[in-house]
Structure 1
């Protein structure tokens, strides 16, 4: 991780936001506020990752996108990953997530970097950026199947709360991998994370503090089962 502790890895994908998001951020304050979180939240996790890797103790690595960065929450620590820290007392937590990450970013960048660190525990939540953008849906099932086959046994994987066809396809793959490979499911089809009234940030896409708290509850329950 360049300047963050895991060699060759950065908490930034290097891709600029899409043209529509860039344009919308000029005119919609709520979207602009979320865009303004990207850089400081990535920098927060890079500093924290460096400190965690300098310590000793069992290691937990988080893989994912802007949700794992905490975007939408009032602070990075108020995101769903930060809210798990008390439950993981005694563990080191390294967050390799990246804003805008897609399944291929986890496959090609985050997971290899994670495995080089030899973690005892892996948490993964990814797919929104593939499933919510039609141009990225093509082949997402194949990419997700590859990811699920490469996650280490005992990894905690979050599924998709949506009920549209692409989300159902991914969830079917996840359910199969949980049964077949010994992964642990964080069940985001739960009512707490399927109904988002009052739980969305000002861009109407990312969770706010309440939404991140709900995701953290689901992952916390999965960790206790594990």
Structure 2
């Protein structure tokens, strides 16, 4: 029997106390299956490839359907120009992007024109989880394809998040990545933007995230495939 984590037990308890937690958690498997099917279809497309890396927010957990997540919304905003392969997984941390998602990206039949990364929320939950995150983000930036990647900053105000954001800003200033800046008021008021679990975004929240990513994604797209 697999060992349960503290966070797993906490979510079990929360799903009893707050029914919305259980309803949002129940999206995990159907959303993953829907993305798996969508990924297969994308690989047979002749459109430029967008590889989305991250956690449950890139899966779109909390939206009514996967099309309500920020990735499909943004692809619609830019005219559906990309074939999206979403390699994100619910619960992922930076280490999972390094150890699983990036290696899977390298096995794809063609190199992506665009890579987006939205990761770090699960690493910020406790001080123990935050240890080593700055170094893992530094490795992540080294391994992402230069000039083709958009990485979200961390909206959290702790010292680790600030150090990670400084790394992103430096990489952005050097032109290695584009930064989707989620700091300060970028995400807007929480009221009306959260799903029933009070953690994940809902359709409103994902529309805001799509808006944050839009300008840097268009910048990459203009260089890579023309506007």
Task: Return the match for 2:22 from 32, 41, 59.
Answer: 32
Q: Structure 2 CA distance, aligned partners of 1:135 and 1:184?
A: 29
Q: Structure 2 CA distance, aligned partners of 1:198 and 1:165?
A: 28
Counterpart for residue 138 of structure 2 = 145
Q: Structure 1 CA distance, aligned partners of 2:216 and 2:184?
A: 12
Q: How does 1:73-222 map to 2 (within 5 A)?
A: 73-86=63-76, 87=78, 89-117=80-108, 118-154=111-147, 155-180=149-174, 182-189=176-183, 191-193=185-187, 195-222=189-216
Cα deviations by residue, 1:10-42 (Å, 9 ceiling, x for unpaired): xxxxx9861111222133201111111111111
Q: Structure 1 CA distance, aligned partners of 2:164 and 2:79?
A: 28
What TM-score does the superposition give when structure 1 sets the normalisation length? 0.88
Q: What is the SS of the residue equivalent to 1:127? A: coil
Q: What is the SS of the residue equivalent to 1:60? A: strand
Moved over 6 A (4+): none
Task: Flag structure 1 segments of 5+ consecutive residues without an equivalent.
Answer: 1-14
Q: Could you tell which deviates more after superposition, 31-40 or 130-139?
A: 130-139
Q: Structure 1 CA distance, aligned partners of 2:186 and 2:138?
A: 26
Cα deviations by residue, 1:36-82 (Å, 9 ceiling, x for unpaired): 11111111100100111122231110000000000111111101111
Q: Please say if 1:45 is aligned against 2:35.
A: yes
Deviation for aligned residue 1:181? 5.0
Change (3 A) 1:85 1:126: same
Counterpart for residue 53 of structure 2 = 63
Deviation for aligned residue 1:169? 1.4
Q: Structure 2 CA distance, aligned partners of 1:41 and 1:133?
A: 27
Q: Structure 2 CA distance, aligned partners of 1:90 and 1:168?
A: 34
Q: Is the 8 A contact 1:149 1:177 kept in 2?
A: no
Q: Is the 8 A contact 2:70 2:209 kept in 1?
A: yes
Q: What is the SS of the residue equivalent to 1:128? A: coil
Q: Structure 2 CA distance, aligned partners of 1:41 and 1:98?
A: 10
Q: Is the 8 A contact 1:199 1:210 kept in 2?
A: yes
Task: Flag structure 2 segments of 5+ consecutive residues without an equivalent.
Answer: 221-227
